Structure formats: C-alpha cells, structure tokens
Structure 1
C-alpha cells in the first residue's frame, strides 16, 4: 500500500514538471506585445533653458501638428532716427492770411489813389507853368494831396511787408507764400480741416536736410504721410534740435505730440528679414519662434528696423541661419502659455483650484 502511494506521488510530480515545462515554452513562444507596441509620443512641454523659455515638441508631433520652419533671409535697411513732431494750430496762419488779403487790398487802393493824385499834380504843374492857368494855391494843394497819397501807400506797403515777414518767421517760406497766394490749395485745405501742419524737430546731431516724406502713426493707428514744406525759423521750446514744417493730408488733433521715424541719408545697415507668416502677437508686441534644436523652439522678440508686406527686418535678436516657425507658431504660443502641471479635469484649469 505504501509502495503504491509512493509510486502515485512520484508520477504526479513527473506530470506536474512536464506541464510546467510545456507552459513555460508556450509563453516564451508568444509575441511580446509590450515590446512591439509603438511607444506613445511624449506630450509637448515647456522648459527653461539658460534663462530662455523653450517649448519642447517631438519631431513626430511637429509633423502631426503641421509645424513648418523657414530660414531668415539676409537684407539691409536704411538707418533711422526718431524725430519729435507737434501738430501746429493753423488758425493763426488763417487769420494772418485774412490780414494779408486786407493789406494787399489797401496797397492796391492806395496805389491807384497815388497814381491819380500824381497825375493831377503833373496836370496842375503844366498848367501853372503855361501862363499860370491854375493858381499857385491849386498847384500846392495838388502837390500836398500827391504827397499824402504817397505816404499812405508807403505805410500800406510797410504794413504788408511786415505781415509777410511775420508769416515767414512763424511759418517758414512755403507756408508764408501760401498765405499770400489767394488761390493756395494748401491754405484752402487747412481752412476746411482737410490738412494739418506739423513741426518736426530733427536731433541736433543730424546736419543733413530731412527726407521729403515721412510717416507717422496717427492716434487711430493709421499711417500718415508727411510732405516736407520748409525749415522753421521758430523752434519748439520743449525740444532741442532743428525744426522743419511738414504737411499732412488729413486732420490731426492740434497740439498732439508724437514721434516719427526718419530715414538717415545714404546709409544702410545689414539686417535679417523675419517672414510675415512667422510673426505672432503677444502683449502688444511682435514675436517669432526660433528652432533651437530639432525638438525645441524659443520665442524671441521681433524689434522692427523696417517693415513691409513681406516681413519685418531686424538688426538684433536673431542670427544668420536661424530657422523660424512660419506655420504653427500660434500653436507653440498656446502651448507655452498653457498652465503647466495643472489638472485639466474641468473646463478652465485655473478654476480647478477652487
């Protein structure tokens, strides 16, 4: 009986060992799903590297998101400088024009009178010399009237010359001529509010004449083209420099103080062109993302040296060979500004703190 039990136990052990060997071989032969399954792509993250905020996006995720980069292009820009501008009240010039019109009319009237009294004196003189056909008293009266008319004419001419000199002193050569000209289109536009006058003060270090045309941003944000008129003989007491008068073909608030960017003559500076598609706006400023590594992007401030429909030219902040994001930059900005390490179970992550 004991022999049977021993035999049965030995047989059970052999069967169990054989079954264990079979199972282990079967499991080893099965494919490893964990090894063959594709590794999930890491989610984009934000890091700080060397004091610079960097958005990390895997290469596969970049392709899936449609992120595209392009190199910055070498270009050149003309050197610029800032000049202060003030919108001048045109009403004194309009009033001066009215006074000039009156003074011209006085000169014209008195010129006619002086010619008439001079002719009358000459006639009386001839008659007096020809046998005293007029009395001496009549001749003297004619002479006195002629002299009086000449004096009045001289006074009127002096008054007109004084007004013209005042106009030149206050408004320069071009505007003073416009004030004298009764058909001046510029003065008509100023009177109707269709134009404005600005005094633009160049820095004292600029000796050359400014550009014929300048551009400033009006209070409503629209660019305004300024046309140079002439140098101003009166300076702005609040600004040191060389003042010039410019005209704008639109109404601007009188007394507005602003700045214009004026191009320096015959000079240019090497620059890099940031494509328009690479520009993103944040905090009221322009930015662009630069690819600093295959999976890393850094946002850098774009300081315009000049700007057109193609892009923005810069002279700092970027280097030749930089790759900027031309598609997908807004996605990178959204990722950078997304709260980090905050659970997103609710619709608005900051509200999850409550």
Structure 2
C-alpha cells in the first residue's frame, strides 16, 4: 500500500512537472503512447514554441512552419495551446504548435507563419533600414525634406526578408542606405576628442 501511494505521488509530480513545463495538453495522458507526450517521445511529431504579439489571438489562424534557412512555405502545423514557458528576451505570448516530424535537430530555428482571414495592415522593413542602439532596434524616418527622426521598431514580427511593422505606413520614407551613418552622426558629439587639451 505504501509503495502504491509512493507511485501515485511520483506520478502526480511528473504530471505537474509536465504541466508547468509544457502545458495542459502534454500533462494529459502522460503514459498513453497516443498522447502528445508519447508522440513527441517517439518522434512522431515535432513541437514548436513561438511568440505572438500581445493582444493577437492565434486560435483562428492556420499555421505553417519551415526551417529558417529555406525559402519553402513550410508544412501545416496544429496549435495545441499556450506554453507555460516564455521565450527569454522575446516580448509577447508564447504558444505551442505540433507538426509532422521534420528531421531537424531539437532547438533548430524555424519560421512560423500565419494564414489568417484577417489581413494585417503594415509594412515590411528591410534589414538595411534597421540599426541597433541601446539594445533596441531603430529606423530613421524622413520627417522633413532634410530631416530624419530615429524611431523605435518592434522586432517581434520577423519576416523572411525583414521585419513587419504596423506602426509605420506605406507612406513612411525610411533610410535604407546609410542608416548606420546617421546613427553615428547623431551621437558623434558624445565622442571625446583626445587631441584637444
């Protein structure tokens, strides 16, 4: 009887650890080979953790996953729920997807894309327009014929060829060539001239 109680306690601990690490879907039926845990352990499915912007509901969306290094559209993926583990340094809500086994090693970077019936309004910001300063991404936007303003850029919506921004408009004129030079010019007054005494 004590052995049975010990086994039940151990099982509850395992289920709780699964719930805390991977969520309710993985904690359900932990010993069943047909459950998510059994399928993942048998490499019958891949599991992908990804982040959506705050306020975006990922449930009414068809998801696709592709390796980052390829230009393919990827394979269809199934949303299984929220991930209790957040991705460090990435703002937003973390969710989990399952997809057929891809043969990619665990921890490989993938591109997650959404096919939604709701159109997103915004622009693609090319990588050459993005500068980094103070741990953040910025772009220079023309505000007058000879005047540019540095504006913050969210990096939580990467595309295969840049970043998606819903804060900029198609009419926004970005500096694409020479953005890093503008950043240097903006802060050159802070550089001390060692030759002047």
If each structure's helix is expressed as a fraction of its own residues, which one has the higher value?
A: 1
TM-score scaled by length of structure 1: 0.31
Q: Which has the larger Rg? A: 1
| Structure 2 length-normalised TM | 0.49
